[in-house]
Amino acid sequence: MNKHYLIVSLLFLMATSFLSVPLFSQSHSYPFQSGENMELVIHYKWGFNADIAAVNFTFTEVKESGKEPYFHLVANASTYKFWDSFFKVRDLYESKFYSKDLSPLYFHRDVYEGGFTAKNWYTWSNNGAEMRAIVDKKGRTRRDTTFNEGVIIRDIINLFYTMRTLDFNKLIKGEKAFFTIAIDRNVVDIAIRFDKKENKKIDGLGTFKTVKFALAVKPRDVDHGKSEDSAKENSRFDIGSIADTSTDETQEGVFYGEEKIYMWFSDDDNRLPLYFSAPVAVGSINGRISKYTGVKYPITSLISK
C-alpha cells in the first residue's frame, strides 16, 4: 500500500464540471435525507484477501438562523486493530454543501496513514467556480492555492453524494456525466458511463438489484490563480497516476488508465453506494456497504438475504 495516497480516497473518488443540467434529477427530492448514516468496509487484495478498514458516515442537514441550509457529512476511517501494526489509518473527512443545489461550501481532511500525515482545507467563492485550497503534508511546505476554473470544483465527498442525484435513466440511454474534483492541490476531471444492470451479492447484507457505472479520470490544465509557487502546482498524470510535481518523488498511481474504477448503486430510489472496486499501486481494493440506517425510501432493490 502507498503511504502517499489515501486508502479511503478511492472510496470517495468512485463515487462538476461539464455536467449538463438535464442529467441531474429535476427536483430537490434527493435520494438521501438528514440522518442517513452508513458504514463501508474496505477490502484489500494482494496475495491475500482481507477486510482491513471501516469507514463510518454521519449525514445531517444544518439549519442556522440567517444562513442557507446545508448538508454536513463527516466520515471517519480506521484500520482494524490487527492491521494497525502493519499500516495504521486514522482519517477524518468533513464536507459541507448547500441543501438547495449541493454546491460546495467547505471541506476538511485530516489523515494519519502509516506515519504519513496530511491536512486539507477547501473553501469556495464565485458560486463554486473558485476554490481556495490549503494543503499541509508531513515534511513539506504548506501550500495555499486558489483555483479559478469557471466550473464547479467539488470535493470528493460532495461528488459521492452528487452522483446519486444524477438522472440514471439518461445515463442508461448512453449519455455520460462529467465532474471536476479537487484532490489535495490537484484538479482532475471524471467521466461516468453506464455499464450495465446486474444482481450483486453484498457480503453480510444479501443480493441486490444494482446499476453499475464505469469511471474514467483525466488530468486538467488548471488556472491556479494565486499560489506560493504556481510553476510547481500544475496537476498532471504520470503513467496514469496523479503526480505531485512539487518534489522529485512521484506518487504511485491510484489509476491504471481509463475505466478501471467501477461503482454499483442500489437500483431503487435510495441509490445507495453498495460497492466499488479499483486498482491501486500494488494489488486492488474494493469497498462494500455493511450497515445503513435512516434511509429515505424502502430498500426495494434487495432480492434476498
What is the DSSP annotation of 125-156? Answer: ETTTTEEEEEEEETTS--EEEEEE-SS--B-H
| Residues 200-223: tens digit of each pLDDT | 999 999 999 999 999 888 877 655
Core vs surface per residue 3-25: b (16+ CB within 10 A) or e: ebbbbbbbbbbbbbbebeeebbe
| Residues 81-125: tens digit of each pLDDT | 999 998 899 999 999 999 999 999 999 999 998 888 999 999 998
With a cut of 90, say whether residue 61 has pLDDT above it.
Answer: yes
More confident residue, 292 or 23: 292
- Supply the pLDDT for residue 47: 78
- Supply the pLDDT for residue 194: 93
- Supply the pLDDT for residue 221: 63
- Supply the pLDDT for residue 276: 93
- Supply the pLDDT for residue 8: 42
pLDDT band at 28; cut points 50, 70, 90: low
Cα separation of 198 and 9, whole Å?
26
